C-alpha cells in the first residue's frame, strides 16, 4: 500500500508555501514578512534581508530596517527599490524607514490576480502529488501486489486528500482576497 501520510505531508507543503507567498503580498498594512522575498547582494552573494538587518514594524503603515553593517545600507535600499513591491525606503543613517502607501483600486485588483496565480501554483503542486500517488498505486497493481478493490480504495483516499487540500487552498485564497480588497 502507498504511504498516504507522505502524500498528505507533500500536499501540506504546497499549502505552507502558498501561505508564505501570501504573506509577502502587500495589503496596505505593514508586516515584517512583506520583505521576506527581498534578497540583498551582500558580501558577494544574495542574502535574505533579515540576514543583513533587523526588520520591524513600528507603525501600522511603516516598516523599519536597521542595517547592521553601515556599508550595506545602499545595497539594502537598492534591493527594496528593485523588488516588485513598489516601496521607496527613506535612509536615516543605518536605518531605512519604508512607508507603505495606500493601495488604489487598480493595484488591489493586480494583487488579487497575483494571489490567484499563487493559488493555482499550489493547486498544480497538489495535483502533481496526486499523480505520483496514483502512479504508485498503478505500479503496485501491475506488480500484482494489490487487487482491483484495493486500487479503488487507495485511489479514493488519494483523491479525498487532494480534494481536502484544494479546499484549504481555496479558503486561504478567499481570505487573502478579502484582506486585499478591504479599504
pLDDT tens-digit series, residues 80-108: 888 877 788 998 888 999 888 777 888 78
Same domain membership, residue 165 and residue 117 = yes
Is residue 63 a contact partner of residue 95, using CB atoms and an 8 Å limit?
A: no
Picking from 99, 128, 152, the residue at the C-terminal end of a domain is: 99
Please report the pLDDT score of residue 130 as a whole number. 94
Is residue 113 a contact partner of residue 131, using CB atoms and an 8 Å limit?
A: no
Picking from 57, 83, 99, the residue at the C-terminal end of a domain is: 99
Same domain membership, residue 77 and residue 108 = no
Residue 183 has pLDDT above 70, yes or no: no
Same domain membership, residue 84 and residue 55 = yes
Q: Which residue has the higher pLDDT, 63 or 84?
A: 63
CATH code of the domain in which 177 resides = 1.10.132.20
Same domain membership, residue 109 and residue 70 = no
Same domain membership, residue 119 and residue 51 = no
Tell me the C-alpha distance between 35 and 16, whole Å: 18
Mean pLDDT of 162-182: 91
| CB-CB neighbours of 125 under 10 Å | 19
Same domain membership, residue 108 and residue 93 = no
CA-based radius of gyration for the chain: 22
Same domain membership, residue 81 and residue 128 = no
Picking from 99, 121, 154, the residue at the C-terminal end of a domain is: 99
For residue 115, what are the domain limits?
4-22+104-181
Tell me the C-alpha distance between 23 and 42, whole Å: 24
Same domain membership, residue 85 and residue 131 = no
Give the H or E element holding residue 58: strand 53-59
Say how many domains are in the chain: 2
Please report the pLDDT score of residue 35 as a whole number. 81
Q: Which residue has the higher pLDDT, 28 or 157?
A: 157
Same domain membership, residue 109 and residue 64 = no
Long-range contacts of 122-126 (CB under 8 A, 24+ apart): 122/14, 122/15, 122/17, 122/18, 122/169, 123/166, 123/169, 125/11, 125/13, 125/14, 125/17, 126/11, 126/14, 126/162, 126/165, 126/166, 126/169
**Residues 12-44 pLDDT 10s:** 999 998 888 887 776 666 777 778 878 898 888
Tell me the C-alpha distance between 78 and 40, whole Å: 8
Please report the pLDDT score of residue 1 as a whole number. 67
Please report the pLDDT score of residue 32 as a whole number. 78
Average pLDDT over all residues of the chain? 87
Same domain membership, residue 127 and residue 113 = yes
CATH code of the domain in which 41 resides = 3.30.1360.40
**Residues 102-142 pLDDT 10s:** 778 887 888 888 899 999 999 999 999 999 999 988 888 88
Same domain membership, residue 89 and residue 38 = yes
Amino acid at each position: 500500500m502507498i504511504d498516504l501520510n507522505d502524500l498528505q505531508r507533500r500536499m501540506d507543503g504546497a499549502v505552507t508555501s502558498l501561505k508564505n507567498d501570501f504573506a509577502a503580498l502587500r495589503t496596505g498594512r505593514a508586516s515584517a514578512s512583506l520583505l521576506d522575498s527581498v534578497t540583498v547582494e551582500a558580501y558577494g552573494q544574495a542574502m535574505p534581508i533579515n540576514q543583513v538587518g533587523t526588520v520591524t514594524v513600528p507603525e501600522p503603515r511603516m516598516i523599519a530596517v536597521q542595517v547592521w553593517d553601515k556599508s550595506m545600507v545602499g545595497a539594502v535600499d537598492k534591493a527594496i527599490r528593485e523588488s516588485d513591491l513598489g516601496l521607496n525606503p527613506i535612509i536615516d543613517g543605518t536605518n531605512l524607514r519604508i512607508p507603505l502607501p495606500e493601495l488604489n483600486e487598480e493595484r488591489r485588483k493586480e494583487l488579487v490576480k497575483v494571489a490567484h496565480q499563487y493559488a493555482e501554483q499550489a493547486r498544480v503542486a497538489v495535483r502533481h502529488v496526486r499523480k505520483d500517488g496514483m502512479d504508485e498505486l498503478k505500479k503496485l497493481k501491475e506488480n500484482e501486489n494489490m487487487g482491483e478493490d484495493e486500487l479503488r480504495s487507495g485511489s479514493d483516499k488519494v483523491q479525498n486528500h487532494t480534494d481536502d487540500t484544494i479546499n484549504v487552498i481555496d479558503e486561504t485564497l478567499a481570505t487573502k482576497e478579502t484582506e486585499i480588497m478591504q479599504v
